[in-house]
Amino acid sequence: MHFLWPQLLWLLWAVPLLVLGYVWLLRSRRQPVLRYAHVALVRQAMLPGGAWRRHLPPALLLAALAMLLFASARPQAALPLPTDQATVMLAVDVSLSMQADDIKPSRLDAAREAAKAFVRQLPAGARVGVVSFAGTAQVVQPPTYSREKLLAAIDALHLQHGTAMGSGIVAALSELFPNEALDLGEAAFLPLTAHAPRATPKPVPARRETDAEPAATIVLLTDGRSNFGVHPLQAADMAAARGVRIHAVGLGTVEAPGADQDDWSMVLQLDEAMLREVTGIAHGDYFRAGSAESLLQVYEKMGARLQVQMRETELSGPLALGALLLMAGAALLSLLWCQRVA
């Protein structure tokens, strides 16, 4: 939580001062009240709970004043609010290992069906785009509201050599931020070792409100480890710098026998450590899917999460309303119990 006008919080010191003043006033009135006691006051004091009844209306008024003073500082907090507007980029691994059949009928077919179910689940106000990546990354479908175009784009995914995970992320970012020059040309074919150094991210240009939707998310699906293109951690840095979350789905087993391709056998190694680090940098979540059913469940969970967006919300209005309710309650109780307004 933060405040737009934090200097006004100093006014809250008035509340304990008023409490002290109220206590002093009660003590100063004690003797005169006992000497010239009103019959109604005596009867009220003799009732069960009469003492706390007498103090409750002023206490409610003090609480209302504290809420109003707190609201005057204009507090803001990030609250989960439902939304039907978001931009989601599906980044799908189409490397040759996706033809493995440990997930029936194949990893790619299971990914297609889960992605299509995910698209159908999203609200109509959500824009969705599709990026595929293998040795290079390409935008299969720019962000669109058309579910027909998206389903056709998902069906059109086909296998290629290599796994350029980071390039897939950058290609998705290029669609989310079309006004930025995010070029993959220099890095698209560079081999990537497991310990390759991360390049220092370039400064992010000043962003305009029209550059991307308020809720921009990349959903990454892969079954292996990156061996071409932009370093995934560098790409995650770029996404985090632009406020884009990355959710990742690891498909298949950590190490499983691969599919034969041209008389050679691939060993499929799911780099979960890298995926966890990518999602950690980009403030997303990592999911593991070892079957077609679990993959559908993962996409269902992500779809539900994407329909709730954390938004900076000013709390002054609700606090002021709460203060008014407290004041109304104090006045009502005072009239009922004391035949006067506190």
Q: State the residue for tokens 């079309």.
A: 178
Domain 84-306, CATH class in plain words? alpha beta
pLDDT in tens, 310-338: 667 888 888 899 999 988 888 888 777 66
State the pTM of this model.
0.65
> Are 119 and 147 a contacting pair, CB within 8 Å?
yes
> Are 237 and 198 a contacting pair, CB within 8 Å?
yes
> Are 289 and 249 a contacting pair, CB within 8 Å?
yes
End-to-end CA distance of the chain: 33
65 Cβ contact partners less than 8 Å away, ≥ 6 residues apart:
14, 15, 18, 323
Structural element, H or E, at residue 89:
strand 86-93
Written as six digits, the tokens of 148 are 């027909």
pLDDT in tens, 115-164: 999 999 888 888 999 999 998 899 999 999 999 999 999 999 999 888 89
Start and end residues for every CATH 3.40.50.410 domain found in the chain: 84-306
Choice between 54 and 42, residue whose per-residue pLDDT is larger: 54
pLDDT in tens, 173-214: 999 988 877 755 444 444 444 444 454 444 444 444 333 444
Q: What is the dihedral of CA 258, 192, 286, 91, to 10 degrees?
A: -80
pLDDT of residue 146: 94
Annotate 240-281 with DSSP letters as a single string.
Answer: HHTT-EEEEEEES-SEEEEEEETTEEEEEE--HHHHHHHHHH
Measured CA to CA, the distance from residue 158 to residue 138 in angstroms comes to 12
Residue 12, Cβ density class (10 Å: 0-12 exposed, 13-18 middle, ≥19 buried) = middle
Give yes or no for residue 221 having a pLDDT over 80.
Answer: yes
Written as six digits, the tokens of 110 are 């299971």
Written as six digits, the tokens of 73 are 């500082």
Instruction: Tell me how far apart the 2 most distant CA atoms of the chain are, in Å.
Output: 108
pLDDT in tens, 271-294: 889 999 999 999 999 999 888 888
